[in-house]
Structure 1
Amino acid sequence: MGCNFSYEPENKLPEIIRCHNHKRPDELPDNWQARVDLATACRGFYFYGIGLRNAMFNHAVAVAKRKDGTGSCYLLGPFGVLWKDVTPESIVEIDLSEGEKAWESLRMPDTAVHIMIALQKNRPDCIAVFHCHPIYSLSLACTKNAKIEQLNMTFMELCHDIGYYGSKVEDWETYYNDWFQTLGKNKHVLWLANHGVTTIGHSIAQAFEKMTAMEQAAEAQVKAMSTGQPLRLLAPERTKQLIELLQDDYPDHAQAHLDSFRNLLPENCLKPDS
């Protein structure tokens, strides 16, 4: 069922923002590299037409080292900017050690930060989260008993990596915590009834790969359903075998996929001292 809200967001962060990321700084990505990856992901989303191609109510967030290499910070895709125009320099940084002071001057909705706070609370193994409203995934999410079927060999591993959420809640904090509790300890894709898709990852590349794969799988399913013909599902035993083969043959496919969009960034954005 759908989700109804009666909540006015406040222009401040909850106390949990004062806590540092669960990971040690040496386990987090370099600040500039994370900025490049996040900007590349945003431009990749524009290429795929994901999230209606803008960052108004779609969110891209990652945890990384601070610029000086110590501690941790949140990196956010800028609000009100087309995905295609995001650059590493335009990524917004929030120093977690400054608590609410780091947020007050930004003058942008705090949704992305609340999502990341809930992620860190429930899935500290992940450092990136994307929340988007891609049209094919959303179309399926607006139907009863919708799920991604095992139709497409390219995206079949998604079927085992999706959590489905459609509960009614009354406040954002509960809502976002419920998201990641639904995913449990191992899943990385959350399908939100009547809302959209959230993906998480141990890297920015993994979260990016999950979002793009989800939308492409949904597009294939919607178009297959539109023919009016019965769907031809892959046998579960065959699916398991193929997933294992793909994992063995393409262990770094997520990073390779993200890197393939590097040329969408302006050349002078690829070095921090440019």
Structure 2
Amino acid sequence: MATQLKSRMECSAEEWAARLDLAAAYRIFAHLGWCESIYNHITLRVPGTDDHFLINPFGLLWDEVTASNLVKIDGEGNKLGDNPYPVNLAGFVQHSVFHKRLPHAHAIVHTHTPDTMAVCATEGGLQASNFYSCFFAGGIGYHDFEGITVRAEEGERLIANVGEHSVLMLKNHGPVVMGRTIHEMFLKYYMLQRACEIQVKTAAMGAPILVSDEVIATHQRDGNKTLTDAFGKLDFEAWTRKIDTLDPSWRN
């Protein structure tokens, strides 16, 4: 059983709310199969701070993460407080540069799902061949594989390659998805995961039908009408209700 560390009374109400959101995100991702053993990360900025973040305890499966055992760290990945769990710095080196440099990187997820990794390992990356992928056309950055992201000097190239986008496909590796809110990040990732799943299945059947630039523009224009501060909120709340019915221990 994972150790429970904090109570609601030991941190601000804002931080506790952020902990609940992030713990829910880990459980939702785990329920949907978007996790890789004890690896990969979802990170979230602590409200009211510039350089304090919450991250999963290294060594726990994502369905063991709770609001109280999330680890609070600073912008360099140093633990804040007496949480006994270690932090996988190989993951936060990558996340920290985005959190520090990009105003839209409040919540960040990096995964190794087979379908997203397959697209990252394919020449040309994500193709505008399905309903979901058309939303991302022209809105994804790509970064050449340099090995495990543990070197701070790679950060400048990551920033240059993501540009103003909120999705960065690490070639031969996996995606990084960012959001201004945790529910925005979730729905963007949901859509990207679907886009990659469909692309992989389509490739197994034959040559894809690519969508024209004109139709992509119309598709994105109409889709952008939903890009409000509440983008993804109803989806996140619905999946939170789902995991509550399965195991509400994430709230501890």
| Short-chain TM bin | 0.7 to 0.9
| Residue identity matched to 1:174 | E
Task: Name the structure 2 match of 1:33.
Answer: 17
Paired position in structure 2 for 1:59? 41
Equivalent position of 1:243 in the other structure: 220
Deviation at 1:78, TM superposition (A): 2.1
How far 1:250 moved relative to its partner? 6.3
2:191 maps to 213
Aligned residues: 234
Matched residue type, 1:151: S
- 1:139 alignment counterpart: 118
Q: Is the 8 A contact 1:64 1:74 kept in 2?
A: yes
**Counterpart check, 1:261 vs 2:246:** no
| Residues 1:152 and 1:47: Cα distance change in structure 2 (over 3 Å) | farther
Structure 2, unmatched stretches of 5+, are 1-12
The aligned runs of 1:147-226 (5 Å cut-off) are 147-168=125-146, 172-184=151-163, 186-226=164-204
SS of equivalent to 2:60: coil
Aligned to 1:49: 33
Task: Describe the shift of the 1:51–1:238 C-alpha distance in structure 2 as closer, same or farther (beyond 3 A).
Answer: same
TM-score, structure 2 length as denominator? Answer: 0.80
Q: Distance in 1 between matches of 2:32 and 2:134?
A: 19
Distance 1:189 1:241 in 2: 21
Instruction: Tell me how large the CA RMSD over aligned residues is.
Output: 2.9
**Could you list the per-position Cα deviations for residues 225-272 of structure 1 after superposition, in whole angstroms to 9, with x for gaps in the alignment?**
1012x21112211121122212225643422222221121444755xx
Q: Secondary structure at the residue paired with 1:118?
A: helix
Residue type of the alignment partner of 1:30: E
Gaps of 5+ in 1: 1-28
Residues 73 and 139 (structure 1), Cα distance of their counterparts in 2 relative to 1, 3 Å cut: same
Which residue does 1:89 correspond to in 2?
Answer: 68
Q: Give 1:162 shift.
A: 1.0
Tell me the amino acid that sits aligned with residue 208 of structure 1: F
Shift of the alpha carbon at 1:212?
2.2
Task: Note if contact 1:43-1:261 (Cα within 8 Å) is conserved in structure 2.
Answer: no
Distance 1:267 1:138, change over 3 A: closer
Q: Output the CA distance in 1 between the equivalents of 2:167 and 2:77.
A: 29
Judged with a 3 Å threshold, the aligned counterparts in structure 2 of structure 1 residues 177 and 77 are, in CA distance, closer, same or farther, namely farther
Taking every aligned residue pair, what percent have the same amino acid on both sides? Answer: 24
Contact 1:50–1:135 under 8 Å retained in 2: no
* CA distance, structure 2, for counterparts of residue 46 and residue 101 of structure 1: 24
Distance 2:235 2:63 in 1: 17
SS of equivalent residue, structure 2 residue 53 = strand
- TM-score normalised over the length of structure 1: 0.74
**Structure 1's 101 and 166: CA in aligned 2 closer, same or farther, altered over 3 A?**
closer
Distance in 2, matches of 1:72 and 1:62, equals 10
Supply the distance in 2 between the matched residues of 1:99 and 1:172 (Cα, whole angstroms).
13
Q: CA deviation at 1:165?
A: 0.9
Q: 1:160 to 1:44 in 2, by over 3 A?
A: farther
The 2-side partners of 1:34 and 1:121 are apart by: 18
Q: Are 2:183 and 2:231, in contact at CA under 8 Å, matched by a contact in 1?
A: no
